[in-house]
Structure 1
Amino acid sequence: MRVPALLIATTLLAPLVAVTPAHAHGREARFDQPHAGWSNDLLEPGTPERVGLDPAPLDEALARVARYTEPDASGHPLFAGAVTLYAHEGTVVTERPVGWAVRYADASGTELPEDQRVPMTRDTIFDVASISKLFTSIVVMRQHEQGKFELDDPVARHLPEFGVNGKEGITVRQLLTHTSGLVAWLPLWSQYPDVPSRVKAVMDTRPVNPPGTAYVYSDLNLITLGLLAERWSGRKLDELVRRDITAPLGLVDTGYNPPASKLDRIAATEYQAGRGLVRGVVHDENAWSLGGVAGHAGVFSTARELAVLGQAILNGGHHAGRRVLRPETVELMLTDFNQGFPGNSHGLGFELDQRWYMGALTSPRTAGHTGFTGTTLVLDPLSRSIAVLMTNRVHPTRDWGSINPARRVVADGLARALAVKPRHGTAWTPETGGGTLTTRDLARRAGGQVLSFSAFVDLDPGDRVVVEATNDGTSWRDVRVLAGYGQRRWERVEVVTEAALRYRWRYERGTGYGGRGVYVDTVRITDHHGVLLDAEREADGLHATGWRVADR
């Protein structure tokens, strides 16, 4: 549940309109100045400094990613290797490979001799797993643009064999938003003998929830959408992805079933019984059993080519003069249709507002997806930024743990590279452990007081800053609570209260993942006689314990 907030962002996607971009070249990149509208950027290489990013948080995040490739207390690393890519305002500022694309000799984690390993490179090709769902969703929405269906059409109208066992009313929109009621997964590869029987199992499955009543992330939704796209177009899904996405965007290493000529650039995934080391063939068993081409998995790509796709989305559906979606279609895809299912915000194919991997880049408009093999794509329209983390975390086994901490590290690094500038002079922000920011003692005069200050609030749900007052220096009363995230703007706060001896801002750290933070600036206290405290003019007007001065 989100904490009721003084500063709270709308959960609806604001209308996006095409605008001429104001490139960040030569100015500081700002987290506290969110963009409206689409960008119009051509993804190109550059440096953090070129687009006004602070390189230090990026370097810190990259160093932590590198450490994740080293054994920890468990005796093994979090992942064998990774490629991390950061882009801002159309500029790829970091594209850092680390570790190994092939590292292990068996499922037990026996390391290959170093001369037999394959290092990660910038152009390493990864099995992106469920990020494939974005490709399927884009292909489906291309069909929508062509008038092949309406979002609230029953799927059975176009795919009659689907309309059995209680699925007659499931709509295309419900498949795209994972609200169809279908089960998350079926063991197609192991319990059905061939492709026709596996497809029929999906068509015959029975919902576990009435359609539209619950959110259940389901591979079956996207398998069905892939079949729908094929029915509408008369073409196979891999042909549609090539025609509608990869060819227009110039993506040469993105697609299904990569050729053997690219095997030396492909990251290994898992050692599986009966399959051995899976490399160059889709890891997901169900997608493999469907011939490597399925709506839920099967796409291979590089960090750079995923970033090109991401830039096309931030551009409203085009890149380098080639359009893959209309702006209004992208707007639909980035609109939250799951407001009835808190915590499961979802557009049409894109996940939205997911702190668990979007970290401090999270907002109601932040979009992305993850893949089981260890891949992550985060798109932040508010800052026109992209964070990509590609790993082979299932090499040699899927049982070595979650890489979600690494996903958040990467997103947090980019968020903190974007500045939050003081409103005037000096701003204060709490350290991660908490603490207080307290005024000096105030003159006690009859009548009330007005406390005013500027606040920037981007806090994880559960975190908050409580503004308190005391008359005796011992007992404190609440006068305001600062909470919420996603708005990314400074606000002026004014509190009319009874006369107090002191005020303080007390940071309470919750159990969440953390946001960009909270900043307090331009503190001023007055009564009917005049100014009691102007913190911008008094060097000793505020006393900090666990808070620090911040200039960005």
Structure 2
Amino acid sequence: MRVPALLFASVTALSLLSVPASATGAGGRFDQPHDRFAPAWTALRPGTPQRAGLAPAPVEGALEAVRRYTEPGADGHPLFAGAVTLLAHNGVVVAHQPEGWAVRYADAAGTELPEDQRVPMAPDTIFDLASVSKLFTSIAVMRQVELGRVAIDRPVADYLPEFGVNGKASITVEQLLTHTSGLEPWLPLWQSWPDRAARVKAVMDVAPKTPPGTAYAYSDLNLITLGVLVERVAGKPLDALVREGVTEPLGMVDTGYNPPASKLGRIAATEFQASPPRGMVRGEVHDENAWSLGGVAGHAGVFSTARDLAVLGQALLNGGAYGGRRVLEPATVELMLTDFTGDFPGNSHGLGFELDQRWYMGALTAPGTAGHTGYTGTSLVLDPLSRSVAVLLTNRVHPSRNWGSVNPARRAVADGLAKALAVKPRRGPSAWSPVVAGGTLTTRELPVRGTRQRLVFSAFVDLDPGDRVVVQAGDGTTWRDVEVLTGYGERRWERVVVDTAPASRFRWVYSRGTGYGGRGVHVDAVRVTDQRGLVLDAEREQAGLTAEGWQAVNR
């Protein structure tokens, strides 16, 4: 999907920040999504799940899951040495929890340090964000767009003539931001070129693997190039642009490249590296290419805390402003969170931001859910529909990058926040929701009168692709499908009307696919009528429905 320049100009007319929260959604609700940014004055403040309108148990469950991942598993080691989790909703920080160790191991084999030599995680532990750094580069680029120095539909070679070689003359800034440039994912810059100048030239010289615009391929080279581009057009180093344009205005005092030695005691260790021979890496960027570029690169190099990263997230949910300071215009944020890669299903991407990625966004996933992950074990998820932020920072490469994927923990954190948000019954005190695959919700036996029946019910559907609820009609022995409930991301109750030949029973059957799961399905306000009138009103008849593997829920 290409967004014309006219849209970029016209979006400013939306006045996204002028609409009160009460006009577009509800706090603590998953089933009443917002369609505007949060007010620009929304700031992070400490609170409890209850204060934010959330159920505390799912939040506690998410924190417990993270804690368990710091304990040894079946393979003898934990998923990560330590972590800091931060969850916020409508500006209320409902969880900010450290677990485990910032420094735990002495070598690549996982030899544990004596406990008095370890460093425990703390709420303000500083982490190497790895590829989450790409968001800072993207914001720096879009600030130059706002200043009129860069246009996303222009060729990169207009700004970096040396880039326009070997089939790259037509690659646009947009294609770098959306990973549709055709560039290969990575080059061993640190290993195969002798110095920074040669390494940058290697990126400028590289030829595309695929024709630009024909495929999605996540590439560090895209963001390395953008880092060079923004330095060229602004006449300043990337770290200065990020500091002056993002971190200082937002008060992100612990965020930046190449952290000073005075903060070393607060920094989480990453990997023990033998090649290059760096030993236990701590306080320097883990990514070898970023390290070889001096610690400041478009694809990696930023260090930050959970709190600082949440401030950035809230600023974006606010439409680009926080604490009375604006770093982006609302139209720019809107554009960055627009899907430009609709031609490549499963790889939704805005300008710098990943979108709609259930593998780490869990049950917060929707087409507009945005975020990014980092190889060191970091992730940021922004859910504009509920105005929520989920941050999980881990040192999962400490002491080795081969100890496993942190994705289960990422999903657990996002799932906990999503499930803490309420789905209120449509009518009465409760609705029905499946809890096990194959579970059924069945009406009592109904009289069969006339030639037609109408089944009417309310459904809230937020299911992983592959999951579904099939509505069936039958006599209790033989069943026929009359409706299928699928989908996710809409987050609204829908009225479902099924006209069918008469049946003595209806039932809802939940089937589980192979995905990660969503917020779930809720069924409520079930009514059956025929030509002679009302046959069943399940809201008024307590025994009107029988549940096996479904449960009554009130949120």
* TM-score range normalised by the length of the shorter chain: over 0.9
Q: Percent identity?
A: 72
Deviations 1:389-425 (A, max 9, x none): 0000000000001010000000000000000010111
2:8 alignment counterpart: none
User: What residue number does 1:439 align with?
Assistant: 443
Separation (CA, whole Å) in 2 of partners of 1:16 and 1:403? 39
Q: Which amino acid aligns with 2:283?
A: G
How far the C-alpha of 1:91 sits from its partner, in A, is: 1.2
Partners of 1:62 and 1:84 lie apart in 2 by 7
Structure 2 matches for 1:339-350, cutoff 5 A?
339-350=342-353
Matched residue, 1:201: 202
Partner of 2:550: 547
Q: Could you say which residue in structure 1 is the equivalent of 2:136?
A: 135
> In structure 1, which of residues 388, 399, 405 is the aligned counterpart of residue 402 of structure 2?
399
Deviation at 1:362, TM superposition (A): 0.3
Q: What pairs up with 1:358-437 in 2 under 5 angstroms?
A: 358-425=361-428, 426-437=430-441
* Aligned equivalent of 2:461: 457
Q: What is the CA–CA distance in structure 1 between the aligned matches of 2:15 and 2:396, rounded to whole Å?
A: 36
- Cα distance in 1 for partners of 2:55, 2:272 equals 40
Give 1:215-294 correspondences, 5 Å limit.
215-273=216-274, 274-294=277-297
For 1:23-38, what aligned pairs fall within 5 Å after superposition?
Answer: 29-38=28-37
Q: Map of 1:56-71 to 2, 5 A cutoff?
A: 56-71=57-72
Is the Cα–Cα contact under 8 Å of residues 16 and 38 in structure 1 kept in the other structure?
no
**How far apart are the structure 1 equivalents of 2:438 and 2:360?**
23
Counterparts of 2:84 and 2:19, CA distance in 1? 31
Rounded to whole Å, the distance in 2 between the matches of 1:16 and 1:365 is 19
Question: Following TM superposition, by how much is the alpha carbon of 1:20 offset from its aligned partner in structure 2, in angstroms?
Answer: 4.2
Match of 1:89 in 2: 90
Q: Report the equivalent of 1:6.
A: none
Which amino acid in structure 1 is aligned with residue 118 of structure 2? R
The letter of the residue matching 2:31 is D
Q: Determine whether 1:180 maps to 2:181.
A: yes
Q: Aligned partners of 1:21 and 1:387: how far apart in 2?
A: 23
AA at the equivalent of 1:428:
W
Structure 2 residue 548 is the aligned partner of structure 1 residue 537: no
SS of residue paired to 2:379: strand
Deviations 1:282-313 (A, max 9, x none): 00000000000000000000000000000000
User: Is the CA contact 2:27–2:386 (under 8 Å) kept in the aligned structure 1?
Assistant: no
Shift of 1:36: 1.4
**Which amino acid is the alignment partner of residue 172 of structure 1?**
V
Tell me if the contact between 1:459 and 1:485 (Cα under 8 Å) persists in the aligned partners.
Answer: yes
Q: Tell me, what secondary structure is at the counterpart of 1:49?
A: coil
Give the structure 2 partner of residue 10 of structure 1: none
Within 2, Cα distance between the matches of 1:64 and 1:50? 23
Contact 1:81–1:99 under 8 Å retained in 2: yes
Q: Which amino acid aligns with 1:284?
A: D
Instruction: Say if 1:16 and 1:331, in contact at 8 Å, map to a contact too.
Output: no
Q: How does 1:159-170 map to 2 (within 5 A)?
A: 159-170=160-171
Task: Evaluate the alpha carbon distance shift between residue 52 and residue 33 of structure 1 in structure 2; reply closer, same or farther with a 3 A threshold.
Answer: same
Maintained 8 Å contact 2:38/2:319: yes
Q: Distance in 2 between matches of 1:98 and 1:321?
A: 33
Q: What root-mean-square deviation, in Å, do the aligned CA atoms of Structure 1 and Structure 2 show?
A: 1.3
Q: How far apart are the structure 2 equivalents of 1:29 and 1:253?
A: 30
1:62 corresponds to which letter in structure 2?
L
TM value normalised by structure 2? 0.95
For the Cα contact (< 8 Å) 1:266–1:279, is it kept in 2?
A: yes
Q: How far off is 1:473 after superposition? A: 2.1
Q: 2:467 aligned with 1:468, yes or no?
A: no
Q: Secondary structure at the match of 2:21?
A: coil
Q: For residue 18 of structure 2, give the secondary structure of its aligned residue in structure 1.
A: coil
1:350-377: CA deviation from partner (whole Å, max 9, x where unpaired): 1000000000000001000000000010
1:126 partner amino acid: F
Deviation at 1:144, TM superposition (A): 0.2
Matches within 5 A, 1:480-519: 480-519=483-522
Aligned length: 536
Tell me the CA shift for residue 19 of structure 1: 3.1
Contact 2:157 / 2:169 at 8 angstroms: preserved in 1?
A: yes
Contact preservation (8 Å) 1:23, 1:89: no
**CA shift for structure 1 position 48:** 1.2
- Letter matched to residue 506 of structure 1: V
Distance 1:467 1:225, change over 3 A: same
**Alignment of 1:106 onto 2:110:** no
SS in 1 for 2:373: strand
Give CA-to-partner distance per residue, 1:233-265, whole Å, 9 cap, x none: 010000000010011001111000000000000
| CA distance in structure 2 between the partners assigned to 1:15 and 1:325 by the alignment | 15
Shift of 1:28: 6.1
Q: Aligned to 1:50, what secondary structure does the other structure show?
A: coil
Residue by residue over 1:80-113, the C-alpha shift from the partner in whole angstroms, topping out at 9 and shown as x without a partner, is: 0000000110111110000000000110001111
Which residue does the alignment assign to 1:325? Answer: 328
Opposite residue 278 of structure 1, the aligned amino acid is V
**Contact 1:28–1:419 (Cα < 8 Å) also in 2:** no
Question: Counterpart of 2:466 in 1: which secondary structure?
Answer: coil
Q: 1:432 to 1:128 in 2, by over 3 A?
A: farther
Query: Which consecutive residues of structure 2, in runs of 5 or more, have no partner in the other structure?
Result: 1-12
1:479 match: secondary structure: strand
Partner of 2:4: none
- Identify unmatched segments of 5+ residues in structure 1: 1-13
Q: Aligned partners of 1:16 and 1:495: how far apart in 2? A: 40
State the match for 1:7 in structure 2.
Answer: none
Answering whether residue 193 of structure 2 is matched by residue 192 of structure 1, we say: yes
Distance in 1 (alpha carbons) for counterparts of 2:67 and 2:489: 29
CA contact (8 A) 2:27 2:90 kept: no
Q: Distance in 2 between matches of 1:28 and 1:249?
A: 24
Measured after TM superposition, the shift of residue 432 of structure 1 is: 3.6
Residues 1:82 and 1:21: Cα distance change in structure 2 (over 3 Å)? farther
Change (3 A) 1:328 1:341: same
Residue 16 of structure 1: CA displacement?
7.4
**2:348 match: secondary structure:** coil
Distance 1:33 1:74 in 2: 43
Deviation at 1:15, TM superposition (A): 6.7
Task: Report the more deviating stretch, 431-440 or 307-316.
Answer: 431-440
1:137 and 1:47 mapped to 2: Cα distance?
Answer: 33
Aligned residue type for 1:67: R
Distance 1:97 1:23 in 2: 33
